Amino acid sequence: MVSVTADQIRKRLGLTVADISDEDVLAFREEAVAFLSEEIGKTLNTESCTEAEANAIRNLAAIYCYCKVSGYCTLTHTSLSTHYHKFALYPSNRFPE
C-alpha cells in the first residue's frame, strides 16, 4: 500500500512549495479523495491505498492545484472532477451511459 503526499502532487506539475503551500495541496487532496470515494463507492485512505488509487488522487489533486496557481480554470471543482473521472477511468472514450 502507498500514500499520497503534497510533494507527489506538486511533482506532477513541476511545482514547489514556493508555488503552492502544503496546506493548499493537502486541501485539494482531500477534495479529490472525497469526490473519488463517492464515485467508486469506497472510502479512500490517502495513507494506505493502492497505486492505482494513489495515482487517481494525485492526478485529480494536481488538476486542482494547476487551477489555483494558473488562475486559468473557470470550471468548478465538480465539473473538473467529472471530466477527469471520465478520462481516467474510461479510456478510449468508452464512457458509461
C-alpha span between 43 and 57 (Å, rounded): 12
In a domain, 31, yes or no: yes
Q: How many domains does the chain fold into? A: 1
pTM: 0.75
C-alpha span between 20 and 43 (Å, rounded): 27
In a domain, 89, yes or no: yes
pLDDT at position 93 is 42
In the chain, pLDDT over 90 holds for what percent of residues? Answer: 67
Instruction: List CB contacts of 91: < 8 A, sequence separation 6 or more.
Output: none
In a domain, 39, yes or no: yes
**Domain around 79:** 6-93
In a domain, 12, yes or no: yes
40-55: pLDDT as tens digits: 999 999 999 999 999 9
Written as one string, the DSSP assignment of 72-86 is ---S-HHHHHHHHHH
Average pLDDT (31-42) is: 94
In a domain, 1, yes or no: no
C-alpha span between 78 and 32 (Å, rounded): 10
86 pLDDT higher than 90: no
In a domain, 66, yes or no: yes
In a domain, 22, yes or no: yes
65 pLDDT higher than 50: yes
Asked if 86 and 62 touch (Cβ cutoff 8 Å), the reply is no
In a domain, 50, yes or no: yes
